Structure 1
């Protein structure tokens, strides 16, 4: 198009055309196969997860190698590319390209037309143009994968006020203070954060409890797994046993669909902000988190992860918010801004490892080893543990369970369950067990995508508080949110503490059930069977959740103010550095 006619059909022209055309075909066919594998895991066209994966190439490439027949995929790309070039040549397309010499005016006309088409598509089209169906799968299939990728790249962070329905910020905080107010809450007007408050002890006449806490954020552990069987046997026998001997939250809902959303929910006790999780955002250090509450009570805070904590910005977030780091480092270093210690998990402490990190029973063994050391110091400890094994490629050490490694999700779930049972069994032999509370909660469900914009049933997760002597075991059936787990635990410990959290004590008589269910663009709130969803372009829709389906209904103005207030204030506090107040 831009080459002078005297160079047409030259060696340079032929080489350039063949090279660019081959490169184009490789990209197109590679994208096709990549989309197939991406859909297999996420039931979606490329989105912000695909953008994230560009950064963490080690985990992604190794996971693909362990999960898919890579030689077959690469061979398929090469074969189809070769066949396409052969067909193009047989169709005389190359001949016509090399032997036609259009006029300069024709070249300019074609160039300008294509340029206008590209620029017009960039500014006049957006990824939501495909959203013409109530069925999310139909909308996703109608999208173009490459366009979806660059759309996600552009919209990785969304400013709430620009994209979502809002009300005056003073009114939004007034709604929040009303929702957070209860008999144990005293708001403190001297701070810039309007929801900063003091939570009084549940029983002021009784002393505070300060047991050790081992908190496990379970990878992809859907609530439905507790009822599933494989070959006639439960795949979660240990979790089922824990459910019968703990405070079991059987109607809890996760904030989001990714691990970093679960981390954000439990660590900051906040609704999900639009765009990327705070865990992966800039200016996410020195925030007021659960670590501040534990530290104020004299605890040593630790974060355990079986992979390299560089992945998903975990080390920077937890190291920057008061946790010592224990991870399987591969040479990356913590930011200079982080003033905590980092300890590597050594080779001799590992029995099995895959793309995502060491096996769950290896990381739990490390937790017990460190707990033994901390017990000798007589300082209470809080261990935040992120599991990894319940994830593709679903591999683990052979002989641990009766399902072969690498055969699918049921085996990974049963192995993750086995490792939890092994953790409890080993902990029971330790002198610190009687004064240690275990908390287990899922980060998100195994399959979080469905036909609806937000598939509510795929946010249903289990949670357990185990070995808390001061409270009777029970099955809590009322709807609760992932963000409520630590405010509830602190109240069960009878703590008086400072809070900036959106989560509440679910045992408080004034607790009103609600949960948050969101994606990186759709922001949902659930109250019983009522579900409201905020979308970009300042849209709001309300539904009835009936028989696990969303049915359109009229927007309730009270519910509308509630959902807007929760999400708008959460984004405002983070964006204006008001979550940093100590």
Structure 2
């Protein structure tokens, strides 16, 4: 009777399933111990994590089980054990084992970087296999990784071979009825999970790490794939569209603004005084958390140059990143819009006609250039910025097709490179490319605006040897120290340039190094440094107003006394009243507004939570919902989505 319910033909399916579930348990426990200091330990929580995780592991496993059970169902019994059957079975087994072994090992490295199961970042990285494989190779030597995967798969294979599992799976002694029963069971489990079980249902704890540990990596991966772009109106709280835009227009309108239309955000910003038109170089610093700088409490001395230049600059002391990835920072800097749910707008389709800060610079006669030490193909940067009117300077992979773009595209050549890793040229080489470009453009009758991103403060934390005392590739501390050294060296070089006196430098981090914490949104891990340097006629000062990445360049426009037309959400921080101060914080699923130490969080399934934020301890305490704050939060995010989908963010 037992063989009729689970025939020998399915022995490999059974053996593979046991292997998968054991691997999943081992990885879950490894991640648990890695995160032990960040969880609220209790025996009951541990058993719940294991139990919920086991259920989700069954869910992810069921997809593979269904695939194989259907194969066994349609393969006639008389062909069981044939040469074709053996080739398909062995090839399929090795393929699936290699894939799941790699994915389990990758989960550990992904967790150490993001303290999350696979999410939309992992989806994005699939598109950039060169950078990811190079990063793995530089962080964990690829031959060793491949050897480890091969060894694990081979040992699992030998165990199954010794237990005659393959021999049993090639038996002809099974009926069509017995095969269809197993196939129906497997497919039913897939249907249950696919249509009824959401990844978010694992989130029953108050601690984000425990919620993530309860999930399955592969299940989370496919859940992220399905939610890479979310329809705001389906998943989040909304209210009357007319009221939404009425409130939004009131919120974005500064005292020196006037609307030019009865709809949308098109308005004229008027500043009094002589307009200044210096060159502007915007430097986006990779993963430079505010907490790394002495001004914000660090005692490690990692950033001596930045610590010095802050005292000579206009410093934003209370500014927050909108997201947790470079592409979100670039979106905020250039498009000046709150983060919409799912992937960044920079990476989406139909983003070739947005109104960006580049359009305001062009109103004033500037040339615009985006500079990256990596491949502009990554995160769709070259396409997005080119269609926004920027020329592109990049370190493109020569093996990759170069798309035709509407603006000029320049390559950082081999002879200009002293060091590079998976993500591209080191910061020193990027800054040298900036200097070379500025030497040329300064001879033009047009002022120039550059927006650039650095690379080096990113795993595998490699950089040129001999520049700092910490050996390359050993720690993030070394990468931070090198990033500070490189930007300091850049400023030392440009001070002797003829164009320096007429150039303003804006420096800001794209996001913090770590965004994980005990809560889903870690407010402190969005706090970033930003400053304006070398602005003629302005004394060094600190701006303590609560603000966002989207406000940095509108604030610069105010200092330059520009009068211009705009569609940006961002505002000149100096024109903000205490009541209008706010910061946008989000990830791919949660959208939040920080205002006067209160954090309003919009969640999927149209749920909302309000917290009081204790800045000293970085703790969030749940409070009663403030209806006015909720409406303001919805107005920003619902309107941003509606304007984007309706094409009203276009030029």
Would you say the 8 A contact 1:182–1:510 is kept in 2? no
1:506 pairs with 2:576: no
> CA–CA distance in 2 between the matches of 1:72 and 1:307?
26
> CA–CA distance in 1 between the matches of 2:523 and 2:80?
59
Match 1:456 to one of 510, 516, 523: 523
Match 2:134 to one of 38, 57, 62: 62
Cα distance per residue 1:177-204 (max 9 Å; x no partner): 11122320101126xx522111110xx2
- 2:107 is aligned to 35
> CA–CA distance in 2 between the matches of 1:183 and 1:99?
81
> CA–CA distance in 2 between the matches of 1:228 and 1:462?
9
1:180 pairs with 2:252: yes
- 2:589 is aligned to 521
1:445 pairs with 2:512: yes
Structure 1 window deviating more from structure 2 (311-320 vs 220-229): it is 220-229
1:576 pairs with 2:646: yes
- 1:541 is aligned to 609
Q: CA deviation at 1:334?
A: 5.5
Would you say the 8 A contact 1:315–1:334 is kept in 2? no
- 2:473 is aligned to 406
- 2:625 is aligned to 555
Aligned residues: 574
> CA–CA distance in 1 between the matches of 2:339 and 2:232?
11
SS in 2 for 1:534: strand
> CA–CA distance in 1 between the matches of 2:229 and 2:108?
26
Cα distance per residue 1:253-311 (max 9 Å; x no partner): 00000001000001011100111101101111121110011011011111111111111
- 2:369 is aligned to 302
Q: CA deviation at 1:233?
A: 5.7
> CA–CA distance in 2 between the matches of 1:15 and 1:80?
21
1:256 pairs with 2:328: no
Structure 1 window deviating more from structure 2 (124-133 vs 86-95): it is 86-95
Larger helix percent: 2
Q: 1:265 to 1:24 in 2, by over 3 A?
A: same
Cα distance per residue 1:95-126 (max 9 Å; x no partner): 43334622221111111121121122111111
1:196 pairs with 2:238: no
Q: 1:145 to 1:20 in 2, by over 3 A?
A: same
- 2:69 is aligned to none
Q: CA deviation at 1:478?
A: 2.6
Cα distance per residue 1:151-183 (max 9 Å; x no partner): 111111111111111111111111111112232
1:162 pairs with 2:234: yes
- 2:166 is aligned to 94
Q: CA deviation at 1:555?
A: 1.0
- 2:96 is aligned to 24
Q: CA RMSD in A?
A: 1.8
> CA–CA distance in 2 between the matches of 1:37 and 1:209?
48
Q: CA deviation at 1:14?
A: 3.8
Structure 1 window deviating more from structure 2 (94-103 vs 557-566): it is 94-103
- 1:125 is aligned to 197
Structure 1 window deviating more from structure 2 (443-452 vs 10-19): it is 10-19
- 2:17 is aligned to none
- 1:138 is aligned to 210
> CA–CA distance in 1 between the matches of 2:575 and 2:487?
30
1:466 pairs with 2:533: yes
Would you say the 8 A contact 2:331–2:345 is kept in 1? yes
Structure 1 window deviating more from structure 2 (160-169 vs 103-112): it is 103-112
1:266 pairs with 2:333: yes
- 2:221 is aligned to 149
Superposed, 1:337-352 pairs within 5 Å as: 338-352=405-419
Match 1:218 to one of 263, 279, 285: 285
State the TM-score, normalizing by the size of structure 2. Answer: 0.85
- 2:496 is aligned to 429
Q: CA deviation at 1:530?
A: 0.5
Match 1:481 to one of 537, 548, 559: 548
Q: Which has the higher contact order (CA 8 A, sep 6+)?
A: 1
Would you say the 8 A contact 1:132–1:139 is kept in 2? yes
Q: CA deviation at 1:16?
A: 3.4
- 2:599 is aligned to 531
SS in 2 for 1:395: coil
Match 1:45 to one of 111, 114, 117: 117
- Structure 1, unpaired ranges of 5+: none
Would you say the 8 A contact 2:260–2:268 is kept in 1? yes
Cα distance per residue 1:347-386 (max 9 Å; x no partner): 1211111111111111111111111112112321111111
Cα distance per residue 1:121-162 (max 9 Å; x no partner): 111111112111111111111111111111111111111111
State the TM-score, normalizing by the size of structure 1. Answer: 0.95
> CA–CA distance in 1 between the matches of 2:584 and 2:322?
5
Q: CA deviation at 1:509?
A: 5.2
- 1:366 is aligned to 433
Would you say the 8 A contact 1:242–1:464 is kept in 2? no
Would you say the 8 A contact 1:228–1:235 is kept in 2? no
Structure 1 window deviating more from structure 2 (475-484 vs 283-292): it is 475-484
> CA–CA distance in 2 between the matches of 1:90 and 1:144?
30
> CA–CA distance in 1 between the matches of 2:393 and 2:150?
42
Structure 1 window deviating more from structure 2 (68-77 vs 399-408): it is 68-77
SS in 2 for 1:238: helix
Cα distance per residue 1:430-482 (max 9 Å; x no partner): 11111111000000001112221111111010001001122221122232111
> CA–CA distance in 1 between the matches of 2:639 and 2:85?
59
1:392 pairs with 2:464: no
Q: 1:556 to 1:173 in 2, by over 3 A?
A: same
Would you say the 8 A contact 1:515–1:525 is kept in 2? yes
SS in 2 for 1:133: coil
- Structure 2, unpaired ranges of 5+: 1-71
Match 2:153 to one of 70, 81, 88: 81
